[in-house]
Amino acid sequence: MKALILCGGSGTRLRPLTYTRSKQLLPVANKPIVEYVLDHIQSVGIRKIGVIIAPGTQAEIKGYFNAHPQVKKKQIKISYILQREPLGLAHAVKIARNFLKEEPFLMYLGDNLLKEKLRDSFEEFKRDNLDALVFLKRVDNAGAFGVAVLDRQGRIVRLVEKPKIPPSNLALVGVYLFSAKIHKVIRTLRPSARGEFEITDAIQKLIEQKAKVRGKILKDWWLDTGKKDDILSANSTILDEYTQNKIEGRLDKKSKISGRVFIAKGATILNSTIRGPVVVGLRVKVRNAFIGPYTSIGDDSHIENSSIEHSVILKKVKIDGVARLEDSLIGENTQVIDSGKNHKALRLLVGDSAIIEV
C-alpha cells in the first residue's frame, strides 16, 4: 500500500503567515503539522509516499521532506506530484495516478491531526476487501465539511459536500483508504459548483456502483488546522496529551516551573515563571517573564519582560515588554515590542519577519 499526503492549497485563512510559508509546516508544539501526519502513515508500515505540492510552496515542502532523517536514510521514499491549480481532492488523486498505479492507498490531508491510531482501520480495510474507508467525526458545524449519512451497518449511503442543511452531524475528516476502483470513477467526474473535482462525488459514485464503502467514526479527537484558532486549539491539545516534564536547558534559582514543561537544550530561563503544559525550543532565552499554559516557543526566540499564554510562537521571535499576549500566533523572525503606549491584553496573528510596536 502507498500513501498520498496533500500539501497543496494556499492557506488563505491563515494569512499573512501563509504568504511566506506552507500551512502544513506550521508548528504545533514545536513540530510541523505534517510531521504528525507522516508519523501516522509510518505507523502502519507504509514507506512509499506521494506528496501533492503547489507551485508557490513546493520548494519549502520539498526542503522539509528532503531533509527528513528517514528520507535521507532511505527508510521512506517520497515522490512529489505538482498540482498546478487547486482543483479539488479528487483532482489530486487523478494527477497522482502514475504514482499510485493499481495499489490501494491511504490519502491524508497534510493539515489534519488525529489522535486515533490507524492500525485497526488499516486491517479492517484489507480484511474486508473494502473499496473505500472514510474517516468521520461528529461535529457541531457539519455544514462546513463534507457530510456522510450511514445505514445501521455503518455503510455510507450518501455524501454531501458542505450542505446548507446537513443531513447528519458526521463530517469527513480528510483521511481515506481507497482501492484502485476510485480511479475509474474519478475519470467520469465533472467539476462541482465550486469548480472543483470533489472526492465526495467520487465516493458517491462508488456507492451507486455497489462498491464496498464504509464509514469509520472517530472516538478520539480530530483537529483541522485551517485557521488561527484551530492552530491554537491543536497546540493546546497536543501539549496536553504529549508534553514531557523534562528540563534540558538551564534555569536560575529565581525561576519557577510548575506543571508539565519541556525545555530544550541550550535554552536559558532567568527570573521567570513557566506554568505548563509548555514547550520551550532550542536556545530560547526567557528573562523576567511569565509563560502560561498551552504555549509553545520556537527555537532561538527571546522573551523578555513579558507575559504570554495560550499562544504559538515560531522560531527567532523577539517579544519584549509586552504586558500580556494571549491567543496569538506569531510568525518566524518577528519582533513584538512595547512602545510604552499600550498595556492591554493583545491577541495577534502576525506573519513572518514583521516588527510590531504596541
Cα–Cα distance measured from residue 158 to residue 44, given in angstroms and rounded to the nearest whole number:
29
| pLDDT computed for residue 340 by the predictor | 64
Residues 221 and 252 in one domain: no
pLDDT for 345 equals 83
User: Which residue range forms the structural domain that includes residue 66?
Assistant: 2-227
CA distance 165 to 130: 29
Per the rule left: phi > 0, alpha: psi between -120 and 50, beta: everything else, 292 is beta
- Whether residue 212 sits in one domain with residue 258: no
pTM: 0.88
Does residue 99 sit in the same domain as residue 219? Answer: yes
132 and 263 share one domain: no
Amino acid of residue 201: D
Nearest to 312 by CA among 208, 239, 223: 239
C-alpha cell of residue 329: 500566533
User: Would 232 be classed as within a structural domain?
Assistant: no
Are 25 and 102 in contact, with CB atoms under 8 Å apart?
no
Q: Are residues 200 and 251 in the same domain?
A: no
Q: How many domains does the chain have?
A: 2
- Cell numbers at residue 142, please? 457539519
SS3 302: strand
Residue 233 included in any domain: no
Residue 221 shares a structural domain with residue 263: no
Checking 195-199 for CB contacts under 8 A at 24+ apart, the result is 195/87, 196/86, 196/87, 196/88, 196/89, 196/90, 196/91, 197/87, 197/88, 197/89, 197/90, 197/91, 197/94, 198/88, 198/89, 198/90, 198/146, 198/161, 199/88, 199/89, 199/90, 199/93, 199/146, 199/172
Among 170, 197, 227, residue at a domain's last position: 227
| Model pLDDT, residue 85 | 87
Residues 266, 272, 274, CA angle at the centre, nearest 5°?
Answer: 80
pLDDT of residue 197: 87
Residue 80 located in a structural domain: yes
Q: Of 227, 256, 275, at which residue does a domain stop? A: 227
- Residue-wise over 224-250: b if at least 16 C-beta within 10 A, else e? bbbebebbbbbbbbbbeeebeeebebe
Distance CA 164, CA 68 (A): 42
Q: Is residue 21 part of a domain?
A: yes
pLDDT in tens, the chain (358 residues): 999 999 976 656 667 666 767 788 888 999 998 999 999 898 889 999 999 998 888 888 999 999 988 888 888 999 999 999 888 999 999 999 999 999 999 999 988 888 888 888 999 999 999 999 999 999 888 888 889 988 887 788 888 888 888 888 999 988 999 999 999 999 999 988 888 888 989 999 999 999 999 988 998 888 877 778 888 988 999 999 888 899 999 999 999 999 999 999 999 999 999 999 999 999 999 999 999 999 999 999 999 999 999 999 999 999 999 989 999 999 999 999 986 665 678 899 998 888 888 7
The verdict on 183 and 248 lying in the same domain is no
- How far is residue 119's CA from residue 109's CA, in Å, rounded to a whole number? 18
Q: What is the rounded distance in angstroms from the CA atom of residue 25 to the CA atom of residue 299?
A: 15
Does residue 222 lie within any of the structural domains? yes
Residues 149 and 51 in one domain: yes
pLDDT value at residue 203: 93
Give residue 57's pLDDT: 84
Helix, strand or coil for residue 176? strand
- Using the 8-state DSSP alphabet, how is residue 346 labeled? B
| CA neighbor of 65 nearest in space, from 76, 263, 56 | 76
Q: For residues 207 and 336, give the distance between their C-alpha atoms in angstroms, rounded to a whole number.
A: 53
Residue 293 belongs to a domain with what CATH number?
Answer: 2.160.10.10
Burial of 183 (0-12, 13-18, 19+ CB in 10 A): middle
Element (H, E) at 94: helix 89-95
| CA–CA dist 53, 80 (Å, integer) | 7
Give the pLDDT score at 38: 92
219 occurs within a structural domain: yes
User: Is there a single domain that holds both residue 8 and residue 137?
Assistant: yes
Q: Which residues, 6+ apart, have CB-to-CB distance to 95 below 8 Å?
A: 52, 81, 82, 83
